[in-house]
Every structure is written in C-alpha cells, then in structure tokens.
Chains A and B, each alone.
Chain A
Amino acid sequence: MKPKVVMDKKSVERAMARIAHEILERNRGVENLVILGIPTRGYHLAMMLQKKIEEIEGVSLQAGAVDATLYRDDIGLKEAQPLKKMDIPFPIDGKTVIMVDDVFFTGRTIRAAMNALMDFGRPVSIQLAVLVDRGHRELPIRADYVGKNIPTSLKEDVKVHVEELDGTSEVVVMPTEDRRRQ
C-alpha cells in the first residue's frame, strides 16, 4: 500500500475553520478561552486555530504549547525521548483550555498532557480539539471537536503535515512498516 493523502490543504483549512466555529458556538464567544497545542504538530495546528478564531471574532486568543513527554506512561519502556516546546506564558487558572493535537489515537498522550497542564494551574475546563480521530482508544477519553474521523487499522500510520515544517498542510495514511524504513 502506498501513502494516501486523505485530507489535502483545502480540507485541512476547512476542518480547522469549522472547529473554530464550533468552539465559539459551544463557548458562546471567546471569553476565558486559551489555546494550548501539543508539540510538535499539534502546536502548529493550535496556531492555525488561533488565526481562524481571530478571523471570525477579531480577537487573538492567548496560545501556547504543552509538552507531554515528561508525563508519559511509557518512560522506561523506550529510549528517553527528546523534550519538546513547553510554553505556557499566561495563567490558566479559571480558564477554558482548548487543547489541540494532530492525531487522536490511544488517548495516552492526551492523558499525559492533561496531567502536565494541571501542574500549571486549575483550568475551569479542558476541551480537546483534534484534526484526525483514528480510533483505537485505550483510555476513556473523547474529543470535543474532530476535524475528520479516519477509521484505520493498527498496521497503518496517520501523519499530519503542516505548512511550517512540511511545506504543506495535509493528512496522509501509510503502512506502519513504511515509516520504520524511512
């Protein structure tokens, strides 16, 4: 099986714009909202979301990055992973945090990211926005906003590409072995 583009730039943009609208609708505006992306690509999607919301409401929400690496449950099961961007330069107490990730899979990263977040304060609520939900949850966690549901097998990998790092925004499905060989 060859890598297959399941969302192109246009559909990524549209999905993020729809999520922006859903966030504003559910929260009745931008009051008290902050956005935190999970690096690497969740952070870039968070920046995209911030821009979309600004286009709609004319307000630029505070945005940052929450790295889950030090909170993961697989520490000691594989090599020590490089740390990523952790940048929460504003208080999150009493805020509604929109957490953004690229691919929603087992739910373990989200669990770790929520624990990291709690060390920075007590948000009034956390809502999860993901570009792709590929299924196979291992923890009782669900997303509040989903760009696209893509049913996958465990033999497949879902990769989100973003403009800043990969040249274009798109979502690609490829066989797992393929990535290992790369």
Chain B
Amino acid sequence: MRLNRKDLLGIEELSKEEIELILSTAASFKEVSEREIKKVPTLRGKTIINLFYEASTRTRTSFEIAAKRMSADAVNISVAASSAKKGETLKDTAKNLEAMNPDCIVVRHSSAGAPHMLARYLKSSVINAGDGAHEHPSQALLDMFTVKERLGRLEGLRIVIAGDIAHSRVARSNMHGFKKMGAEVTLCGPPTMMPKGIESICGVKSDMKDAIKDADVIMMLRIQLERQKEALFPSVREYSRVYGLDNEKLNGSKKDVIILHPGPVNRGVEISPEVADGPWSLILEQVKNGVAVRMALFYLLLGGVKE
C-alpha cells in the first residue's frame, strides 16, 4: 500500500486503506519526537513552504516543526507580511513561489477550493491546511489517530461532533474520515448551524445530553464568536447553557468517554474549563499527535520517487 498522489487536499477523496497507511506511518513517527535528537535526515534538501492566508498558531507551527524534524527546510509566509496585501492574486503568488523550486506548499485559505486550484497549477505537492468551510484533512487525520491510539480502533465507535457544523471544515473532514473508518457519526448543534440536508448522511440531534449519552468520543467545535452578528445564536451565554460541554452534561455520558477539541478553545463557551482540563480531555494529546501525522504526510508525499 502506498499513497499514490501528489497532493493531500481532503479526506473525502482518500480511501480507507490510504487513511490506515497514514495513521500507521504516523504511529512510527511519534517515536522521533520523543528522542533527545528529534530529527531524522529523511527529507534533507527538500523545501516546504507554509502559505497561510488565515491566522493560525497551532497548525502552522505543527507543519513547521514536522518539516524540520524531517530535515526539510521550512519557510513560513503569512498574509499580513506578503504581497497579497499589495493585490497579487493567489495564482501569481503560487507561481512565483514555485519559481524558487519548493517540493511542497502547505496552504490555508479562506476560500474553499483554493488548494485544489493551486494543486492544478503547480508541480510541487500541495497540502490543504484548511480551505474555507470545506476541509482540514490533517486535523481529521490527527483526530482519528488520537482516538485510535486511545481506544485501539475506529470501527464501530460512536462519535458526536457538536457545535457550528455548517461553518466547520474540521467537522466536514472528520465526518468523512470517521465514517470511512466504520465509525458512526452524530452531529449536534443549533438548527441554524446545521447544513441543509445533512440528515441523509449523518445522524442529527439538537439535544446535547441526548446526543452524548452513549458516545465514545465527543468532539467539541470552536464557536466562532464573530458569527453572533449573523444571528445564528441569540447570545453566547445561551449557547453555552444549551450546547456548552460541562460536568453537568457530561454526567449523563459514558464514564470512559473521550473529549476532543481542535482549538483554539473558548473556555466557558463551548467547553467549560473543568472539562477542557479534565481527565477525559485529549486536547493536548491531539496537538502532540499533530506533529507525527504531519511528518507522516510529508514522508508519504515527498519520500518517494519523483515522477
């Protein structure tokens, strides 16, 4: 089994076997980050550009550390400091970057499909680090990795994804991923934050306690506070009371349930501090595993024969 593709654009187009390959490769890479010398020479001489048109701390740092631990050279470009501010189009920026011969461009953009467009124009590999409300494949892979590492399997698990589903690329990628791996996905959130017609693909519940009562995994999404002016929810306090995960709601769930959150966390809004820091929370484990998953992606995409 090999990952026979130039780019990683989304979970939707990956097969179950490809996801398994990425997860098992990541398991081997986790060991590298635990060494005293946290570096292997595998991707010596490769150049990886992180092109981020949206703010990011965790994801960008994670890709950068992953690249460096593989001995690739990582270059970070954030929009505030780039020529996009001067009106250069995405395509022109990418073409100019490509003229400097990178092997991989990791791109985050507010428009869905931006990485796909780049992948068509560029000879280098493209990894989607989040495109609009579409996909965030490396996040879903690290979420699946974290669950599999803790519970030993994905097949047959009950996963609840709760929050602003409609605007969440994390939810979309995870939904595709967990379903492909044989888990059962239930979505929970206010009806204004549910994509139309989603019931035909996933279970949908609007009552949080009911949704989580027999869940193996609860994935809380970050509520985008800037969306409050779109009137998708009446007030932060009400959202938190109805959909926020706290000890009281958690009381009705399985005793060994695990809790994920892609970050950044709004403490006291979608998740209470005692839950975020509690024994069921794997939030920091997710961040740790993110580096291993991204090392695996670089290895599988860049460590083979160049066509």
Contact = CB atoms under 8 A, between A and B. Distances in A.
Interface of A: 67, 70-71, 75-80, 82-84, 86, 115-116, 119-121
A82 B42 contact: no
Contacts of A119: 35, 37, 39-40
Given A70-B41, A70-B42, A80 B304 contact: yes
Contacts of B37: 119-120
A86 B304 contact: no
Nearest to A112: B41
Interface of B: 2-3, 24-25, 28-29, 31-32, 35-37, 39-43, 299-300, 303-306
A115 B41 contact: yes
B28 A79 contact: no
Given A70-B41, A115-B41, A119-B37, A79 B29 contact: no
| Interface SS of B by simple majority | loop
Contact of A79 (B25, B31, B42, B304): B304
Nearest to B21: A82
Contacts, number: 46
A81 to B, nearest CB: 8
Nearest to A86: B31
B28 A83 contact: yes
B25 A82 contact: yes
A83 B305 contact: no
Contacts of B43: 75
Best-surrounded residue of B3, B36, B42 (most CB of chain A within 10 A): B42
Contact of B2 (A67, A80, A83): A80
Nearest to A83: B28
Given A70-B40, A115-B41, A119-B40, A76 B28 contact: no
Contact of B41 (A71, A80, A121): A71
Contacts of B31: 86
A72 to B, nearest CB: 8
Nearest to B46: A76
Contacts of B42: 70-71, 75
B213 to A, nearest CB: 40
Nearest to B296: A83
Nearest to B295: A70
A90 to B, nearest CB: 13
B123 to A, nearest CB: 15
B40 A76 contact: no
Contacts of A83: 25, 28-29
Contact of B305 (A71, A77, A116, A120): A77
A156 to B, nearest CB: 26
Contact of B303 (A76, A116, A121): A76
Given A70-B41, A71-B42, A80-B299, 10 more contacts: A71-B40, A77-B305, A78-B304, A79-B2, A79-B305, A80-B300, A80-B303, A82-B25, A86-B28, A120-B36
Given A83-B29, A119-B35, A78 B41 contact: no
5 contacts: A70-B42, A71-B42, A76-B305, A76-B306, A121-B36
A38 to B, nearest CB: 15
Interface pairs A-B: 5 shortest CB-CB: A83-B28, A80-B303, A70-B40, A80-B304, A70-B42
A78 B305 contact: yes
Contacts of A84: 28
A71 B28 CA distance: 14
Nearest to B298: A80
Nearest to B41: A71
A86 B43 CA distance: 19
Contacts of A116: 40
Nearest to A84: B28
Contacts of A71: 40-42
Contacts of B39: 119
Nearest to B3: A80
Given A71-B41, A86-B28, A120 B304 contact: no
A119 B303 CA distance: 20
Contacts of B41: 70-71, 115
A83 B25 CA distance: 7
Given A70-B41, A119-B37, A120-B35, A75 B303 contact: yes
